[in-house]
Amino acid sequence: MKEVAPILFLILGVSASPGAFECPCLNSSSSAYAAISAAAVAQGLSSTYGLDGCAQYDVGNALFNCDGANPPDFCSNPWCYIDTDVCPKSDDLCIAAGGVPGSNDSPYCRSRDFSSSDMTSEAWYSYATCGSINVYNVSGLTAGVTGHMLQIAVIPAEPWVTETISAVTGLKKYGGPSYEFFIESIGSIKLNTPAVNIADIFATPESRAKYPASSYTACVHDVAVGNWDICVADLWLTPERNQLAHFLPALRQDFFYLVVPREIEEVTFMTRLLTPFKPFAVDGWLGICAFLCGMASLLWLLHFIENGWQGCDYTVAGWLRFQFAIWHDFLLGGGNIEVEKGPVYKLLHLSFAFFILVTLASYTASLASLLVVQAEAKGTVGNIEEAIAQGYRICAPAALVETFKTVFGDVFVPHDDYMAGPRNFYAGNCEAMVLSQDLMDRVHAGLIKEKDCAEVANGLSAEEGRCDSDHQGLARNDCNFIRAGDPVWNIPLSFPIAERLSHPVV
């Protein structure tokens, strides 16, 4: 069975694939060919085992347990021993051959994955050159993790990463969805689960000195320089941080909104008095008046035509009486139809009744919509473009300001603590804020005010903490903030991780 593939190639007159151009299989003219062939025969294998181009050499091979009913996946994958004089990428040889590294100009410009074999020291094999995956030996995928101790930094950020102190041991205990995800990822690594050491500090003093505005960015820097292997935190993946270290795929997205104070409209007797007139514009009311006056005049003339111009109502007073009757019927929502009158008179009354129906239905619907809209909270501006046009200063986390500037311009006031937006607003440093939805929920729950008050109690100045009032002496009210417009930005959250760990952890 181990010679099935080569025999089939001979019968069909088709040569086996020699492997990829940049990492060719060994052939009979290669210096290592004879040594590998002899080693294969010594182990009971064919003399051309792995040496006849890309083929499924292990199909039915009892030596590798490939002869059973459910053989391992690698048994059917084609592979070959490769030419190590050509396969390794060499920029110098590539350029000397007139090529560009990464191109297909020369076999030295690119490479394919290959591994050493225990057949002989000269034997190197590759599945990749034959277009398949090496599932025969996966130890290389976890080489940077198995048997190692991982140095981890954890930055608490409720509710995603929580920190508690054990009442029994007095030691820190971490939890939360993001931390549990990290634990599950480490525990799912095949072979031996690595040991984990959690550092006592978020970031080293050297990294904090380099990035004083953000302990999160400092933690990313520690991963980049090798102090930590992973930084477990609710951490925004900004362009700056992405340039420092490798990151896991995004765990979730943070959506950011422009947040402004509610617009408080003063309600007076006059505003209430004018409310019934708001459903229609001035032109609409003038059109209604014109229709009613015209209808009253037609009915007044029709009355005298039908009565032969007889009677004392052929005067201004009579015309006014008709006007009163029409306006009275309109306001009552119905007309006094006199069925004994002629067809023209009835037609006019039907037209009048239909006009009343349409007008009152439109008025009722418009007034109801108007009252609903008035009941909804409204901000001082409708969106960030309007805020920028009105010259608003906008408070935003320092870690995101450079990103926001690329789109919206230099209108942002940075603050290092991403939860310090409200107190900066109350201090008069800005007229609006950019907050994540998660932080906005905390603001409305009163948690941010509690945090600011706790910091004031621990020594922060009242002017900076703004626990009780704003810079004008007005009482602080975090429930007065409202989102304005659609999301301004969304940013992925992820963990920075040492590059050697990215494949096994993912």
Question: How far is residue 134 CA from its own chain's centroid?
Answer: 35
What are the φ/ψ torsions at residue 69 (nearest 5 degrees)? Answer: -70, -35
What dihedral angle (degrees, nearest 10) is formed by the CA atoms of 317, 318, 321, 326? Answer: -130
Tell me what pLDDT residue 258 has: 95
Q: How far apart are CA 481 and CA 471, in angstroms?
A: 17
**Do residues 132 and 25 both lie within one domain?**
yes
Strands 246-247 vs 496-497: parallel, antiparallel or unpaired: antiparallel
List, for residues 215-237, the tens digit of each pLDDT value.
Answer: 899 999 999 999 998 999 988 99
pTM above 0.75, yes or no: no
Tell me what pLDDT residue 144 has: 59
Judge contact between 484 and 384, C-beta under 8 A.
Answer: yes
Whether the per-residue pLDDT at 12 is higher than 50: the answer is no
**Which of 74, 107, 137 is the endpoint of a domain?**
137
> Among candidates 25, 209, 285, which has minimal Cα distance to 130?
25
Whether the per-residue pLDDT at 368 is higher than 90: the answer is no
Number of CB atoms found within 10 A of residue 171's CB: 9
- Quick check: is 262 in a domain? no
Tell me what pLDDT residue 147 has: 63
Confidence bin at 11 (pLDDT 50/70/90): very low
Confidence bin at 9 (pLDDT 50/70/90): very low
- The H or E element containing residue 25 is none
Tell me what pLDDT residue 331 has: 81
**For tokens 């019927």, what's the residue?**
329
**Do residues 463 and 341 both lie within one domain?**
no
**Do residues 210 and 331 both lie within one domain?**
no
- Quick check: is 270 in a domain? no
Q: What are the CA-CA distances from residue 386 to residues 77, 264, 373, 383 (Å)?
A: 61, 18, 20, 5
**Do residues 68 and 131 both lie within one domain?**
yes
- Quick check: is 371 in a domain? yes
Q: What are the CA-CA distances from residue 492 to residues 16, 235, 265 (Å)?
A: 47, 8, 38
- Least trusted range by pLDDT, from 145-159, 335-349, 359-373, 383-397: 335-349
**Do residues 404 and 329 both lie within one domain?**
no
Confidence bin at 340 (pLDDT 50/70/90): very low
Report, as an integer, the average pLDDT of 451-468.
Answer: 92
**Which of 112, 137, 162 is the endpoint of a domain?**
137
Q: Which domain holds residue 185?
A: 149-253+497-505
- The H or E element containing residue 484 is strand 481-494
- Least trusted range by pLDDT, from 92-96, 376-380, 410-414: 376-380
> Among candidates 443, 436, 419, 428, which has minimal Cα distance to 393?
428
**Do residues 472 and 424 both lie within one domain?**
yes
- Quick check: is 268 in a domain? no
Q: What is the CA radius of gyration of the chain?
A: 41
Judge contact between 61 and 5, C-beta under 8 A.
Answer: no
Confidence bin at 212 (pLDDT 50/70/90): confident
What dihedral angle (degrees, nearest 10) is formed by the CA atoms of 20, 24, 27, 29? Answer: 140
Q: How far apart are CA 204 and CA 408, in angstroms?
A: 34
**Do residues 389 and 478 both lie within one domain?**
yes
**Do residues 317 and 407 both lie within one domain?**
no
Residue 253 pairs in a beta bridge with: 492
Confidence bin at 14 (pLDDT 50/70/90): very low
DSSP 407-423: HH-S-EEEESSTT-HHH
Q: How far apart are CA 230 and CA 505, in angstroms?
A: 10
- Quick check: is 258 in a domain? no
- Quick check: is 160 in a domain? yes
Tell me what pLDDT residue 204 has: 93
**Residue 188: exposure state from Cβ atoms within 10 A (0-12, 13-18, ≥19):** exposed
**Do residues 156 and 121 both lie within one domain?**
no
Q: How far apart are CA 64 and CA 136, in angstroms?
A: 10
**Do residues 11 and 133 both lie within one domain?**
yes
> Among candidates 481, 461, 485, 479, which has minimal Cα distance to 471?
461
Total domains, the chain: 4
CATH value at residue 158: 3.40.190.10
Tell me what pLDDT residue 339 has: 45
- Quick check: is 144 in a domain? no
Q: How far apart are CA 21 and CA 112, in angstroms?
A: 10
Whether the per-residue pLDDT at 387 is higher than 90: the answer is yes
- Quick check: is 261 in a domain? no
- Least trusted range by pLDDT, from 5-9, 133-137, 272-276, 331-335: 5-9
**Do residues 362 and 479 both lie within one domain?**
no
Q: How far apart are CA 295 and CA 289, in angstroms?
A: 10
**Do residues 18 and 112 both lie within one domain?**
yes
